[in-house]
Each structure stands twice: as C-alpha cells, then as structure tokens.
Amino acid sequence: MKEFVFGVDIGGTTVKLGLFTTDGTLLDKWEIPTRTENGGSAVLPDVARSIEDKLTEKNIAPEQVEGIGVGVPGPVDSDSTVHKCINLGWGVFNVKQRMNELLPAIPNVAAGNDANVATLGELWQGGGKGYDSAVMFTLGTGVGGGVVVDGKIVAGKNGGAGEVGHMTVNPEETVPCNCGKCGCLEQYASANGIVRMAKIMLTECSTPSALRSMDSFTSKDICDLAREGEEMAVSVVDRFGDYLGRAMSFIGCTTDPDVFIIGGGMSRAGAVIIDAITKYYRKYVFHVSANTPIAIAELGNDAGIYGCARMVIG
Amino acid sequence: MKEFVFGVDIGGTTVKLGLFTTDGTLLDKWEIPTRTENGGSAVLPDVARSIEDKLTEKNIAPEQVEGIGVGVPGPVDSDSTVHKCINLGWGVFNVKQRMNELLPAIPNVAAGNDANVATLGELWQGGGKGYDSAVMFTLGTGVGGGVVVDGKIVAGKNGGAGEVGHMTVNPEETVPCNCGKCGCLEQYASANGIVRMAKIMLTECSTPSALRSMDSFTSKDICDLAREGEEMAVSVVDRFGDYLGRAMSFIGCTTDPDVFIIGGGMSRAGAVIIDAITKYYRKYVFHVSANTPIAIAELGNDAGIYGCARMVIG
C-alpha cells in the first residue's frame, strides 16, 4: 500500500478534489470549475493538471500515490466506463483509460457513480464507519442512494442499483414523479416531496398548523415544528417516516445491510426524522433485521471525495 | 482447479447429495435420510460417510476433489457458521470446522442458506445461466428467495438477505402472515397466498367463475383457468402479478440484478404468471431497469446441490 490517494468528485459546476493518506486522513481539499463546453472534453485534462500541480506543491512523487478515484454524476460500469453524463456533456467512454493517457505515472484509476461513491465514503470514514455493508438514502431535492455490500459498490446491470428514490411506495398516486412514474419515494421523502405532501395533507383536514399562515414553507419548517410537537407537523413527519421506513424495509429483506445511512440536506433534522423512520422500518421489516442501525451521514459534501479515494484502495 | 466437487443440500427429512465435475456437469445424485434426533448430531457424520463411500465407489481420490458445499435450512454466516437450524435440531456451530474434522482430506468446505444456495445453482447451470447477478423468488407454500451479486451470495448482516417473501407489499392488510407481520408478499404470491387472495376476491364480487363450484382449489386451478382466459381467474393472477412485480421492482431499484428467476411449484404455471409479473415489474421499476429478464428456474429440487457445489469453486 502506497502512502497517498486522490479522490475526485466531478459535479456539474465544480470538481471537488481531495488528497488523502491511504489510512483515511484528508490532508487537503480544493475545487476547480467543471468546464462542460465542447462535450466536457477539458474536464479530465483539468483534473490531471490539478493533481500534477498538487503533487508539485506537496513535493509528492507519483510513485507514492496508490491511485485516483473518480466520481461521476451518471451511470458507470464496474469497469469504469461512463454511459452518458448529461450534466458534463459526456458520451460513452472509459474514464480509467483516459486518465491513464493523461497521467500514466498513476495507473490505478477507478470511476463510480457519485451517489454510490458517497455511500462508500460514509462507510469508510463517516456515519457508517466500522461497518462493511450499507445502504444510503440522500434526502435532497430528490432522493438518491447507494448500495455497498462487503465494501464493494453494487452498480447494477443497468446502473440502476441505489435508485432507491424511485421505489414505487404509493401505487395509488396519480401525480407523476420527475422520472415519469407515479408514487416514487422521492415524491414524499425528499425536501420537495415532504413539502408537497404537507400541502396536500393540509387541504385534507382542518387541524391547526403554523404552516397554514406561511406564504411558503420548507422541509426544515416542517421538521422544526414537528420537533416542537405541533400535531399537524408531527403527522406529516410520521407519514414521511412510513414511506421511507417501508422503502428501507424492502432493502432489509433484500441485502440486509449492516447499517442504513441518511444523508442530504434533510438529514440535518436529526432525531425527529430518524425516530419516525425507525418506527416504520421496524414495523415493516422481517424481524431478524429489525435492529439494524439507522445513522446520520457525517461527511456532508466531502462524502464523494472520501468514497472516490476509498474505491482505489485494495 | 481440481476435477470434482460435491454439493450437499440438507433438508429436514432427506439430505440430497450431488457429485459434479467442476465445470458444472452432474455426474451422480443420491439421497440419505436426515437423522435429526440428538440435536442432529449424526447429520454431518452421515454426510461425510456417504461422501467417502461415493469416492470409493467411483474410484476418486480426495485429492481430486475441489471441495464440499453444504446448504442448510436456516441462517448461515459468510464464515459458514450456522445460527440455529430448528428443522435439524442444530444450535450454533461452524459447519466448515466440523466437516474438516470429519473429512480432513477435503479441507475446502463452505456452508450457505438453502434458498441462497439454490439461487446460486440456478445462476450457474439453470434459469440464470450466463449471468453474474440474480435474485430468485421461490413460490412454494411460502415465498423464499436468494440474492447473488457478482457471483457471490449476499447473506446479510442478520441472515435476512433474500427474505423477499416478507416484504410488506400491502400495509393495509389486517390478517397476519406466519411471520407475525401483516401484508407480506407471501400472503398473496405463494401457492397458499394466491388461493387465500382468490377466496377473498370471490366474496367481493359476483363475477362468475369455475372456482366458485369447487369444494377447494389450488394455485394450479387458478393459473389453469387464467390461461384459458377466465375473467375472474385472470383478475386474480393480475393482482398476484401486481404484488410480485412491485416487490421485484423494489429490488430492481436496489441491486438491479442481471436477471430475476422464478422458482418453486408455482413456476410451473409458466407464461401466464411471468406475463402478469412482467407487466407490473415494468410499471413500477425505475426505467433503466425495465427490461431485466424474468426467467423460470430450470433445476427444480436439484438447484440446491448445484449451488452448493458452485459455492466452493473459486
């Protein structure tokens, strides 16, 4: 095992880079802009140059670097082939091959989907530290996720593994999700979804609520009111927990992970949502898996660079 | 790689044994009784003696045997430790260690849960041949299952992986499943479950059906009538397909396997159930995974010995 490793998390506007020791300490992190023009052809050359500059700055020889892990916002094969990354303008090509051309001195390169990689990062040094298998739910604008079994990312035949936000938890739903289907978890358990659900629930009852007097409200408003014990907000969070806990129970009956991890902006609500999720997870899952811990993500936006680095450590 | 391998599938009344070549040809299969008295202490010695007898009969030296795979009707750790097998009278112990004491000349031993092992068998030489990752649903008295990712059985933290029959697909259900929860897939999609569901559906409508004139009917009766196009039976199989296709879609959004395999007695109904399952799987799953094939198991009761053998081949 060499001494250093790079994690490179490519987003639609910025690329986050991290220099780690191979035992998991983040030594330095920085960002460069993602230049998506011309089919994103400058993105990986920019990354390679930035890594070379960092090696010079830190006086590290390429031979001291174990490898470079790359996270990408789109489907990635287990052999590091990207299958179109709309946000980056990329078509189909092999990230490892391209990086090997750009930086032949550091041949060990692997690429993974950003949500899967973030799960691996949380498992390595975050909310799932100490475990081998995890499933993460990232509750942001939508609901993303990642599945790791025995330390390895499960990408799936079609890159569809970890698309937990698109489990059809409500087959009666008539309003379509962004994906085109109706009744996806994302329509109830994302930051936008819980607000949408609260608005509908408010029209269906006359329970008093501070939410009724707000011009607009956010998932944070709902969770704050629920934490204070407001009846209406508590019932919204309870229904959120029912959908998310149920989705989690399906995974408990499939891969039975060591730990579930809740990430994304909504995870900042903490115990008030974890309690609601846990209540329903335990209700719905097969009894042997009822006590699986549900942890909160700890690495925030750094989960990606951690997971990228972890990918190339044997 | 050596030339031969044994698969040993231990059931509550008989032990099935198979002698294979390591390239997957079944050379011989036979059964011995499972002696469950005295905490099942005779089971593994009986197995060891039966293997020694077969080696003598076939004039095979232990050095020509790659290993022995053992399937067990209960939860098994990835290190071959069994955690109570009620049907065999077994407590907690390590199958590999015990077999190594009994048959030191063949040290490569691994144990797995019978449903998981059967999935591996179907993937190796049955309905999933040619693929690396599969999830099997075994539709018998109950609904069992197994999950294999990249050729490896996923056992789960608590041995709960593959407990797909206990996904809560109907949270409104008030009648409990054998497991104690309400609304498990097994209550609608097993051979017993579809009969139970049909009886309820018959009381809820006045649609004519040949089922109404039968003293009792089986899942086969329902599937036979549906195949003939009887409206009532078609609607029962359609609802069965809705529940099972939905459960399958949750797995599509989790591990996104190469193939789904339908086994167990009900799988003999063939296209009439596969079509119903496929219709709803495609409706509910995230679009990237919509075309995952749904195959019928091919090895019947031999799936276990095939999978056991496969477990010990590197």
Q: What residue ranges do the domains of chain B occupy? A: 4-121+302-311, 129-298
* A259-270 average pLDDT score: 96
Quick check: B256 and A159 CB within 8 A?
A: yes
Compute the distance between CA of residue A215 and CA of residue A311 in angstroms, rounded to an integer: 45
- A160: which chain B residues are within 8 Å (Cβ-Cβ)? 252-253, 256, 285-286, 288-289
* A266-286 average pLDDT score: 97
pLDDT digits over B74-121, tens only? Answer: 888 888 999 878 889 898 999 999 999 999 999 999 999 999 999 999
Shortest distance, CA B80 to any CA of chain A (angstroms) = 16
Looking at residue B314, what DSSP letter applies? -
ipTM of the complex as predicted:
0.93
The chain-wide mean pLDDT, for chain A, equals 96
Cα dihedral A38, A40, A44, A49 sign? positive
Model pLDDT, residue A76: 86
- Take residue A122 and report the two structure tokens written for it: 């949380």
Is residue B256 within 8 A of residue B290, CB to CB? The reply is: no
- B292: which chain A residues are within 8 Å (Cβ-Cβ)? 157-158
Percent of chain A beyond pLDDT 90? Answer: 92
Q: Kindly list the strands in the beta sheet with A109-113, ordered across the sheet, starting from the edge strand earlier in the chain.
A: A26-33, A14-21, A4-10, A65-72, A109-113
Quick check: B167 and A250 CB within 8 A?
A: yes
Rg of chain B over CA atoms, in angstroms? Answer: 21
Quick check: B289 and A160 CB within 8 A?
A: yes
Tell me which CATH homologous superfamily contains domain A130-298. ATPase, nucleotide binding domain (3.30.420.40)
| Cα nearest neighbour of B255 on chain A | A161
Domains B4-121+302-311 and B129-298 share a fold: yes
Identify residue A23 by its one-letter amino acid code: D
Please identify among residues 137-166 of chain B the ones whose CB lies closer than 8 Å to any CB of chain A. Answer: 147, 149-150, 152, 154-164, 166
List, in order, residues 6 or more apart from B304 with CB less than 8 Å away: B7, B9, B16, B71, B114, B117, B118, B121
Is residue A50 within 8 A of residue A68, CB to CB? The reply is: no
Model pLDDT, residue A77: 81
* A55-68 average pLDDT score: 98
Quick check: B257 and A156 CB within 8 A?
A: yes
User: How many angstroms separate the Cα of B223 from the Cα of each of B28, B89, B149, B165, B201?
Assistant: 34, 37, 32, 20, 15
pLDDT string in tens for chain B (314-residue length)? 899 999 999 999 999 999 999 999 999 999 999 999 999 999 999 999 999 999 999 999 999 999 999 999 988 888 899 987 888 989 899 999 999 999 999 999 999 999 999 999 999 999 999 999 999 999 998 999 999 999 999 999 988 999 999 999 999 999 999 999 999 999 999 999 999 999 999 999 999 999 999 999 999 999 999 999 999 999 999 999 999 999 999 999 999 999 999 999 999 999 999 999 999 999 999 999 999 999 999 999 999 999 999 999 97
Quick check: B158 and A288 CB within 8 A?
A: yes
Is residue B120 within 8 A of residue B148, CB to CB? The reply is: yes
Model pLDDT, residue B84: 79
* A259 phi/psi in degrees, rounded to 5: -155, 145
* A28 phi/psi in degrees, rounded to 5: -160, 145
Compute the distance between CA of residue A21 and CA of residue A18 in angstroms, rounded to an integer: 10
Looking at residue B249, what DSSP letter applies? H
* B116 phi/psi in degrees, rounded to 5: -65, -40
Q: How many CA atoms lie within 13 A of B167 on its CB side?
A: 33
* A295-313 average pLDDT score: 97
Mutate to test the interface with B, among A250, A280, A281 (most CBs of B within 10 A): A250
| Cα nearest neighbour of A155 on chain B | B255
CATH number for the segment(s) B129-298 = 3.30.420.40
Q: Examine the pLDDT at A143 and tell me if it is beyond 80.
A: yes
Is residue B32 within 8 A of residue B14, CB to CB? The reply is: yes
**Is the model more confident about A78 or about A38?**
A38
Compute the distance between CA of residue A87 and CA of residue A98 in angstroms, rounded to an integer: 19
Quick check: A257 and B167 CB within 8 A?
A: no
Mutate to test the interface with A, among B119, B132, B178, B250 (most CBs of A within 10 A): B250
If you search the block for the tokens 């937990």, which residue do you land on? A164
Model pLDDT, residue B314: 78
Q: Kindly list the strands in the beta sheet with B109-113, ordered across the sheet, starting from the edge strand earlier in the chain.
A: B26-33, B14-21, B4-10, B65-72, B109-113
Q: What is the DSSP string of A42-56?
A: THHHHHHHHHHHHHH
* B101 phi/psi in degrees, rounded to 5: -70, -40
CATH number for the segment(s) A4-121+302-311 = 3.30.420.40
H-assigned helices in chain B: 37-40, 43-58, 95-102, 114-125, 186-189, 191-203, 219-227, 231-252, 271-284, 303-311
* Closest of A278, A164, A134 to residue B156, by C-alpha: A134
* Closest of B72, B180, B76 to residue A290, by C-alpha: B180
Percent of chain A beyond pLDDT 70? Answer: 100
Please identify among residues 50-79 of chain B the ones whose CB lies closer than 8 Å to any CB of chain A. Answer: 75, 78
Q: Are strands A26-33 and A14-21 parallel, antiparallel or unpaired?
A: antiparallel
* Residue from the list B164, B247, B288 with its beta carbon closest to the beta carbon of A160: B288
Cα dihedral B298, B302, B307, B310 sign? negative
Please identify among residues 213-272 of chain A the ones whose CB lies closer than 8 Å to any CB of chain B. Answer: 242, 246-247, 249-258
Q: Examine the pLDDT at A314 and tell me if it is beyond 80.
A: no
Model pLDDT, residue A78: 81
* A279 phi/psi in degrees, rounded to 5: -55, -50
Compute the distance between CA of residue B169 and CA of residue B239 in angstroms, rounded to an integer: 12
- B11 at A interface, C-beta within 8 A: no
